Structures are given as C-alpha cells and as structure tokens.
Chain A
Amino acid sequence: MKAKIVIIGAGISGAGIAYNLANKGMKDIVVFDASYLTSGATGRCGAGIRQQWSSKMNCILAKKSVDFFETAQEVLEYPRSVEFKQEGYLIVATTKEEDLQFTENVKLQQSLGIPARKCTKEEALEIVPHLNKDAFISATFCPTDGHLNPFTMTEAYYLAAKRMGVKFFFNEEVTEIVVNNNKIEKVITNKRTVETAMVVNAAGGHSKEVGDMAGIDIPVYSENHEILVTEPVEKIQGPMVISFSLNIYCQQVPHGSFIMGRSTADQVRGHDVGSTHEFLDEMAKTAVHILPPLGDLRVVRQWGGSYNNSPDRQPIISDCSELPGFYLACGFSGHGFMFAPMTGLLLSEMIMGEKTSIDIKELHIDRFKNSDFTTYERNVV
C-alpha cells in the first residue's frame, strides 16, 4: 500500500489533522490507531474547554479553537450533537498570590479578546451559589468557556475526514518507521507495510515511543491522571469550577452527571491508567470542601488516562529539523482536547508548506534543545 501521509493515532488530534489535511485537498491520507476511535486520552478526558490561560500562546490556541467549536456542528455536517455547552469556567483563587496572578492573567486574556473577568467572592457566589464561601477569596470567570463531548466531537472530525476520502484503520498498531538516508520510506504495522514519505505522530501517551521509531527523541513523558463521574442529577451548576491550589476541576455535564478530577502528587511516569482509592479519597474531600452539596451525589465510576507532558506544559506542534516529513502533535500536558482545531489547522498548514495562521516558533520541538523556552504554563490541574 502507498500513502501520501500516514497519521499515527485517531484521538482528537489525529482525527482533526486528517480532516484539515483533506479539507486542504490532500489525497491518500491514511490513519492508523492501535485501538478504537477515542480509546486514548481523548475518550478519557474531562471534556473541559477553557480560554483562561496564563501563557499568551495557550490563550490564543484556546480562543481560536473555541471559535471553531462554535461552528463545528455545521461546518463538519455532523448528524449527532457535539454538545458544546458554553456556561463558563469559574476559576477560584484561594491565596493572595493566586489572586494577584489571576489579575495579571485576566489582563492578558482581555487583551487577546477573551471575555474573562475578575470576580469578587460575592460575584462568584452569584454564579455558583453552592460554593463554600470560606474556601476561596476571589475568582475569574469566562462565560464562553465550557464543555464539549469528546466522543462526538472526535467522531464529527472522523466522519467528515472519511467523507473526503481519508482511510482509517483501527486495531492496527504501527510498529516500525523505516528511515533511510534521512528520509522516511515506510511505515510498518502489525498488519501491513505502507510506502510513504510523511508521518504525523499524534500518538498521545505513546508519542515518545513513536518518536523513537523514527529516531527522534521527544522530551515528553506520560503520567496517569484520574477522574470520576457521579450519577446524573437535576441541573444545579452551569460553569466548570476549578482551583489550581486546591487541585480540582469539577463540572456538571449536559447529561446531568458531575465529572471531577485532580492530579496526583509525585505520580510515577508510565503508561498505567488504573484507578486508586487514594484518588477517590482525596477527590471526595476536595469536592465536598469546595462544593459542599455535592457530598450527596453518588460516584458511579472512576477511571484514569494519560497526560502527555512537555517540559514547559505547552504542546509540541512541529516539524523536525533532523527528519524531513516527520511531524509532531504531542505533549499536550492535559489540555490537548480543547486545542484540537488549532492543532489540526496549524499542522496541516505546515505540512502543505503554507504560512501558518499564527507564528508557532514557540511550539517547535527545537525550543527544548537549548532550553530556550521562556514561558511555562502555570495554570494547570
């Protein structure tokens, strides 16, 4: 088999890149996934969409992605609903330092056209009345942040790409990338060999291993992040409530369930995505502390998923100076779902040799070579 380009991974990134390339007229696009659609981090994520970041680049990626999500249903002609619910993110500050930092963040966000604002405690309590008033000192709110269904959003890209001729192969793992004289020649899976000169590494938690196959050392690592969901109840909370210092994000999804997650301190690196009772205990304590009425909700399920972290917690959307034809979309550090429209657009522009919509030098893998990256995204759970 021959292909113009092989995309490894059919999560939101791979599906979005495939759609954007096909939309630009590229033919013979092949996507392989070792498992099924959304089997990786995408199908396990918190489904949160937010534009309130501390780094300019992340703000821009998020804002432009939200612009796309608002029209995704129609643009992709998707028959089901992508369930984009824009009822905001309320980020609470619990310390003086956070309060100061958030004031700076909001200035940056507003300068980029993101409708975020600083809120007093009283204003925050009007937005989410069941917040524990003693658990925080101030907040920021952006009404156009929200929630999007990871399964249907990915399927929307997938179906649109398929309609334009992209070939997807599931349950098929890429095991080898053949490189000769600094040129990609073949991609080998557990089922076939494909002749191609271009490969996109959108392998999420396994992007480092896929980089190794091509002899490219990608400075990312994976770690398990746990999350849980409660039984569905009547709607009581519009926005996502999030706190970096308390280590929690929590939102009620359109279906009625609450989804909440937090990161585990000193998590071991690796591909484990299991569930622990330590997470359950800490999660329950934090949730009941900050949102007391949630104590009455029953947890129905918990699971884990891979965060693929980069050294500066910003994505790697890049080509490779060492290997022409090898492209990277990885290292999303826990926020790659909400960036997918820009990931797809920027990488497809790069691959087609077009000028990228925004300057993305600071997302290039070479920024880690001399450790000359200057921004570090602090606003992560």
Chain B
Amino acid sequence: MSKKDTIICRCEDVTLEDVEAIMNEGYTSFEEIKRILRVGMGPCQGNTCGQLLQREISKFLKVPLNEVETHKVRPLITGVKLKSIVEATKDES
C-alpha cells in the first residue's frame, strides 16, 4: 500500500505521507505534529492513532518506542452531548 493510502489517523484523515512530510520539516514531537496535522484531535482522542504515530516518530528518530512521548491525554475520555451534561447537573441539584 502506498504511503498516501496508509491512514495514520482516521478521525482526522491523516496519512503516513503527511506524517513523514511533517517530520522532514523538522517537527518530530507528538504535540507539534498534532497541532499542525490534527492527528489525535479527533473524536477518539488518539486512541487509534496515538500508538501508530508514536511508532513512526520512533522509526524516524531511530530511538526506542518507549522514549517517544505521546500526546497529553485530556478529558473527556468519550464524547458526551452538551445537553446530557446539562441534564446530569439538574439531577444533582
């Protein structure tokens, strides 16, 4: 499969080709790549693509996988509708 067709982040539609291009521009940390390409910013919050990107960075920098920092995990763990949050606060009071 070509790099153009290899999807790293399916939520944000980012390919292996995109990732390699950005690393060649000099951005080799997860947070930088995320901010430019939106990898890991999708509804799954990087659950699917996090490790894939980590592996690509590790290969590119030729450092062990466990030395590549992944993205900061932020709330929420799964998407919740705004109105469900409003309903939940009503139940509490």
Contact = CB atoms under 8 A, between A and B. Distances in A.
Q: At the interface, is chain A mostly helix, strand, loop or mixed?
A: mixed
A299 B31 CA distance: 20
Contacts of B89: 281, 284-285
Contacts of B74: 275, 301-303
Given A38-B35, A231-B43, A297-B81, A302 B86 contact: no
Q: Interface residues of B toward A: which range?
A: 20 to 34
A142 B25 CA distance: 38
Contacts of A299: 76, 79-82, 85
Interface string B30-63: 0110011010011101000000000000000000
A287 B89 CA distance: 14
Contacts of B36: 80, 151-152, 155
Interface stretch (A19-27, A111-119, A184-192, A288-296): A288-296
A211 to B, nearest CB: 27
Nearest to A284: B85
A152 B37 CA distance: 10
B83 interface: yes
A37 B82 contact: no
A288 B83 contact: yes
Contacts, number: 72
A301 B43 CA distance: 8
B45 to A, nearest CB: 7
A284 B82 contact: yes
B82 A302 contact: no
A231 B83 CA distance: 14
B29 interface: yes
Interface string A292-334: 0011111111110000000000000000000000000000000
Interface of A: 36-39, 43, 80, 151-152, 155, 230-231, 255, 275, 280-281, 284-285, 287-288, 294-303
Given A36-B32, A255-B38, A299-B81, 7 more contacts: A275-B74, A284-B83, A295-B81, A295-B82, A296-B83, A300-B43, A301-B76
Q: Which 3 A-B pairs have the closest CB atoms?
A: A295-B83, A298-B79, A284-B85
